[in-house]
Structure 1
Amino acid sequence: MNIPDTTRAQTQDLLDFIDASPSPWHAVHTCEARLTAAGFSRLDEADRWTLSAGDRRYVVRGGSSIIAFIIGSQPATTTGLRLIGAHTDSPGLRLKPKPAEDSAGMVRLGVEVYGGPILATFADRDLSLAGRVNVRVPGGFATRLVRFADPLLRLPNLAIHMNREVNENGLKFNKQTELPLLLGVSEDGTKAEARFRQPIAAALGVEPGDLLTWELNAYDTQKGAFWGVDREFVANSQLDNLASCHAALSALLATPEPAATCLCAFFDHEEVGSESATGAGGSFVADVLSRLATSAGLDGEDQRRMLAQSFFISADMAHGWHPNFPAAYEPCHHALVNAGPVIKSNANQRYSTSAETAARFMAICEKAGVPCQQYAHRTDLGCGSTIGPIVASRLGIPSVDVGSPMWAMHSIRESAGVLDHGYMIAALTTAFSN
């Protein structure tokens, strides 16, 4: 398979992006670093905003959601807005507020299941901790990012000699009693909580007692990699949905002087329903769009004219056809890996795509010179959803759901195609200028 050097470089950059982003808070931090390097400046929601054509700005809410935009050269009432949305969170295991317990000489950390991960894939992996911690400082507290690069935790499997039916019945964990992660051996005279706090405090340069609260998730320390006979595939954690974040951000950074205002919105909490202050079900994107309109001097009538001419692309990953499980797919809707972006449709509006918006994205792909595919879920299987229907219904703008095809969605180690990532970047770049 012939893979252009540019496409392979884009995909390597994706792997680097994911490896630098083991939590939603790190993902936003990685985006912020790239935006700042490209000349974007940060806005604060508590300040008054003054914006003008050509401005390249971004705003962060809650540390785990970010919206970046370029103000277009033409009036928004003439061009509308070009919006691409994705999400920063991925399914997995999150530590409880008081996770540490001593169990027969071992320190275990209690976890909650976040979203819908394939739990079996977390077993026997080199896991560590990443997220944010609030520490005591004079006059209050400060939020710090923390990440342990080396393996710190593990979820060892039970030997087959004690679980004889595992290959017939599948690997299953009781979420309360069998998912706690092993941290280390208990030390005489040291409580389990102290053993848990010590490495975090040392990493942050504070006293263990100054750790107030935390939001920490387990992540796989194995870095992303190319695989396949022609290295035409990639494997990594969080391809769903950091691959879409990376593609959208790459497209925005490749759009220097757009006629229409272009905006990327990356939300937290998609995997648990988006109903939060930082989720797509909250007010974040509507607040930003309202402030953009106000800064441009648009009244209520003009704001509605702006939205009526806007277009939203919900970018989330798609289910690639798996040759080992053909019965799991709708017969005429096989989305092949390395065959182009996938337009996702569902009659019950689990995806926001309509016939009109699908045709519009097809035209974008044609203009970009990339192939595209269509996907519908089997009728007798429950269909997942995205931020697409949520944002489209709240803003009242045309929307399409698209994504790159992948395997093992919600595994701790997912796979996708190298060509597809290049195709998606090209399509989204064209969408911003279309």
Structure 2
Amino acid sequence: MNTTEFNQQLLDFLAESPTPFHAVKAMSSRLEVKGFTRLLESEKWSLEAGKRYYFCRNDSSIIAFIYGAESLVEDGIRMVGAHTDSPCLKVKPQPEVTQQGYYQLGVETYGGVLLNPWFDRDLSLAGRVTYRTVTGKVTSSLLDFKRPIAVIPSLAIHLDREANQQRSINAQTDLPPVLMQVEGTDKPDFRGLLAEALTAQGVQDVESVLDYELSFYDTQKPALVGFKEEFIASARLDNLLSCFIGLQSILEADGKQSVLLVCNDHEEVGSRSACGAQGPMLDDFLTRLFTDPESRLRCIAQSMMISADNAHGIHPNYSSRHDGNHGPVLNQGPVIKSNANQSYATNSETSSVFRHWCEQSDVPVQSFVVRTDMACGSTIGPITASEVGVRTLDVGVPTFAMHSIRELAGVADAHALYRVLVTFAHSPASELDTPR
């Protein structure tokens, strides 16, 4: 797949995926087209070599697996990990607020949101809604309003003359989006509005909405931008971009080697959940894959995980925020992320073999280390390494404006990392042959 085709499919995937629930649905449909069979955790599994499988947990995390022809014990598994969630504004359980004749919804911040860019955007709402049917069954459906239904208006500079010098945001009082105007004390029932929206979407058996997990999102479509269209601009590049790269790489695998993709929810808030990287999802899968503990341990000793999560590109206006020798540039290749204090799981062996695969793929590679006087973020890499015991590497595509409502990446980098992951998926065990 060439760069142009890859990026167009990436833009389509980003537009389809306003929430982790929608991202998992989009990935599931692409996997099924390529012959992956869905597994249900409540059923007995009988996995066979040569077959392709996937399963979901909480509708927001997914594992896809190709059971290769080579021996799991002798050849291991090539693993790629990413996360489906992004910082955003989530609707509170009892959100209705009426002020000055305007109907608003209370929100809470999810993850480390960069708040300023959320003002004056055309916002929509999407997520999962759980409801009782007319027959008394409790079930869930995904919902996406798609059209702009809300906005968070800025306070005019005339009323805040210091806004450009020192405006701060109170997340409780400044962020509730405006949805509509209302008369007097009239306050529409939000759950009733959701029931109407589900019905309009084609769900015919809704009696009453019981609860929901809904997030606001920017309706501006993903796009190629720049004078020469060198950049991809979109919401949720962190980290749906890596999910898509991992997905495309496993779809290209030839089935000789065993290959696994895991995309976990809740990374942005610490990964501590049943479907997060610190939860048992991957471990549960490996338990069902192996009938005895020793075979599993021997397989893990021959395996490797590439944790893919975006890296900070060096910003031309803020270059002093980077270490002078470690400033990744957009469109100059994927980034190996290292940290002496294990915020990233990279070590000299895993970084070296990744450099080897980059050379084989004719892809340039860059390095990122945070300034010594600044705190370092983390990924699912160290968590997965500590939970499973697999050797792990942290890499990512360089981006600007991470955790903003709209982020920026280079058009060449996602495709470059995809090519490296395809090489990784086809690599023989001998390239990972280090004593353990």
TM score, norm. by length of structure 1: 0.95
1:284 counterpart = 2:272: no
Structure 2 equivalent of residue 96 of structure 1: 92
Q: Which amino acid aligns with 1:10?
A: F
Structure 1 equivalent of residue 432 of structure 2: none
**Two-structure CA RMSD over aligned residues (Å):** 1.5
* 1:57-76 equivalent positions in 2, closer than 5 A: 57-76=53-72
Equivalent residues of 1:197, 1:208 under 8 A apart = no
Structure 1 equivalent of residue 313 of structure 2: 320
Cα drift, residue 418 of structure 1: 0.5
Q: Which of these residues, 151, 154, 162, is aligned with residue 151 of structure 2?
A: 154
Structure 2 equivalent of residue 416 of structure 1: 409
Equivalent residues of 1:100, 1:196 under 8 A apart = no
Structure 2 equivalent of residue 427 of structure 1: 420
1:264 counterpart = 2:253: no
Cα distance in 1 between the residues matched to 2:132 and 2:182: 27
Q: Which of these residues, 353, 358, 363, is aligned with residue 365 of structure 1?
A: 358
Cα distance in 2 between the residues matched to 1:197 and 1:38: 34
- Other structure's SS at 2:282 match: helix
Structure 1 equivalent of residue 242 of structure 2: 244
Cα drift, residue 293 of structure 1: 1.7
Structure 1 equivalent of residue 390 of structure 2: 397
Cα distance in 1 between the residues matched to 2:206 and 2:99: 22
Cα drift, residue 249 of structure 1: 0.3
Q: Which of these residues, 365, 372, 375, is aligned with residue 382 of structure 1?
A: 375
Cα deviation per residue 1:309-366 (whole Å; 9 max; x = unaligned)? 1100000000001111111000000101000010000000000001111101111111
1:307 counterpart = 2:305: no
Cα deviation per residue 1:49-76 (whole Å; 9 max; x = unaligned)? 1111111110000000000010010111
Equivalent residues of 1:102, 1:192 under 8 A apart = no
Equivalent residues of 1:146, 1:203 under 8 A apart = no
Q: Which amino acid aligns with 1:184?
A: M
Equivalent residues of 2:132, 2:206 under 8 A apart = no
- Other structure's SS at 2:290 match: helix
Structure 1 equivalent of residue 114 of structure 2: 118
Q: Which amino acid aligns with 1:339?
A: Q
TM score, norm. by length of structure 2: 0.95
Unaligned runs of 5+ residues in structure 1 are none
Equivalent residues of 2:311, 2:395 under 8 A apart = yes
Aligned length: 424
Equivalent residues of 2:131, 2:206 under 8 A apart = no
Cα distance in 2 between the residues matched to 1:346 and 1:411: 24
1:135 counterpart = 2:128: no
1:217 counterpart = 2:215: yes
Equivalent residues of 1:101, 1:193 under 8 A apart = no
Cα drift, residue 206 of structure 1: 5.7
- Other structure's SS at 1:180 match: coil
Cα distance in 1 between the residues matched to 2:293 and 2:25: 34
Cα distance in 1 between the residues matched to 2:390 and 2:239: 23
Cα drift, residue 193 of structure 1: 2.3
Structure 2 equivalent of residue 36 of structure 1: 32
Q: Which of these residues, 252, 255, 278, is aligned with residue 254 of structure 1?
A: 252
1:333 counterpart = 2:326: yes
Cα distance in 1 between the residues matched to 2:207 and 2:55: 32
Cα distance in 1 between the residues matched to 2:6 and 2:222: 13
Q: Name the stretch that deviates more: 50-59 or 267-276.
A: 50-59
Cα deviation per residue 1:99-152 (whole Å; 9 max; x = unaligned)? 112112111100010000110010001101000101111232111000011101
Equivalent residues of 1:136, 1:142 under 8 A apart = yes
Cα distance in 2 between the residues matched to 1:189 and 1:229: 51
Structure 2 equivalent of residue 228 of structure 1: 226
Cα distance in 2 between the residues matched to 1:180 and 1:266: 30
- Other structure's SS at 1:63 match: coil
- Other structure's SS at 1:85 match: strand
Percent identity for Structure 1 against Structure 2 = 46
Equivalent residues of 1:85, 1:266 under 8 A apart = yes
* 1:173-192 equivalent positions in 2, closer than 5 A: 173-187=169-183, 190-192=186-188
- Other structure's SS at 1:131 match: strand
Q: Which of these residues, 171, 196, 200, is aligned with residue 197 of structure 2?
A: 200
With over 3 angstroms needed to count, the CA separation of the structure-2 counterparts of 1:217 and 1:17, relative to structure 1, is: same
Unaligned runs of 5+ residues in structure 2 are 428-436
Cα distance in 2 between the residues matched to 1:322 and 1:396: 35
- Other structure's SS at 2:189 match: helix
Cα drift, residue 262 of structure 1: 0.3
Cα distance in 2 between the residues matched to 1:52 and 1:199: 45
Cα distance in 1 between the residues matched to 2:194 and 2:231: 39
Cα drift, residue 200 of structure 1: 3.0
Cα distance in 2 between the residues matched to 1:332 and 1:220: 35
Cα deviation per residue 1:157-201 (whole Å; 9 max; x = unaligned)? 0000111111112x4321111111111111457423257546535
Cα deviation per residue 1:195-253 (whole Å; 9 max; x = unaligned)? 75465354344688611100000011110111112211110000000000000000000
Q: Which of these residues, 162, 167, 190, is aligned with residue 164 of structure 2?
A: 167
Cα distance in 2 between the residues matched to 1:222 and 1:172: 25
Cα distance in 2 between the residues matched to 1:319 and 1:113: 22
